[in-house]
């Protein structure tokens, strides 16, 4: 149903590395979101965008940054990964009512 894609699905990376998690959607949605989810915990909003060149920080403090140069693309970047960044990252897009999620990226920082 949903045409929203995240890559990579799994990533193991060393401390201090720069990484970019990719998220793309083909539905033409203006609104896109990044959530972080730790095991057994609720999803926490870390970034969102209401359109091209619009980005905002969410409720959960995050050391990541995002960009929105094209409607369909909303990448998340960690400049210097740390073990505390180990988590699952979920991207979503939304029309006015319904939200669609990607399959997530499980990031492990060693």
Partner 1 sequence: KQEVTQIPAALSVPEGENLVLNCSFTDSAIYNLQWFRQDPGKGLTSLLLIQSSQREQTSGRLNASLDKSSGRSTLYIAASQPGDSATYLCAVRPNQAGTALIFGKGTTLSVSS
> Which CB atom, from 12 or from 99, has the smaller least distance to partner 1?
99
Per-residue binding string, partner 1, 72-101, x by CB under 8 A, is ----------------x-x-x-xxxxxxxx
Q: What are phi and psi of 83, to 5 degrees?
A: -55, -30
* Rounded Cα distance, 16 and 78, in Å: 9
Per-residue binding string, partner 1, 4-43, x by CB under 8 A, is --x-----------------------xx-x-x----xxxx
C-beta neighbour count of 14 within 10 angstroms: 8
Report yes or no: 95 and 41 within 8 Å, Cβ to Cβ.
Answer: no
102 SS3 class: coil
Residues that bind partner 1 (CB under 8 A): 1-2, 6, 30-31, 33, 35, 40-43, 45, 48, 50, 58, 88, 90, 92, 94-104, 106
């Amino acid at each position: 149903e949903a045409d929203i894609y995240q890559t990579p699905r799994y990533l193991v990376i060393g401390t201090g590395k720069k990484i970019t998690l990719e998220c793309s959607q083909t539905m033409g949605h203006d609104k896109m979101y990044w959530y972080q989810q730790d095991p057994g915990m609720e999803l926490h909003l870390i970034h969102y965008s209401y359109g091209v060149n619009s980005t905002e920080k969410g409720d959960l403090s995050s050391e990541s940054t995002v960009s929105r140069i094209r409607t369909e693309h909303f990448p998340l970047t960690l400049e210097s990964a740390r073990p505390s960044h180990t988590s699952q990252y979920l991207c979503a897009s939304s029309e006015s009512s319904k939200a669609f999620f990607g399959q997530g990226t499980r990031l492990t920082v060693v």
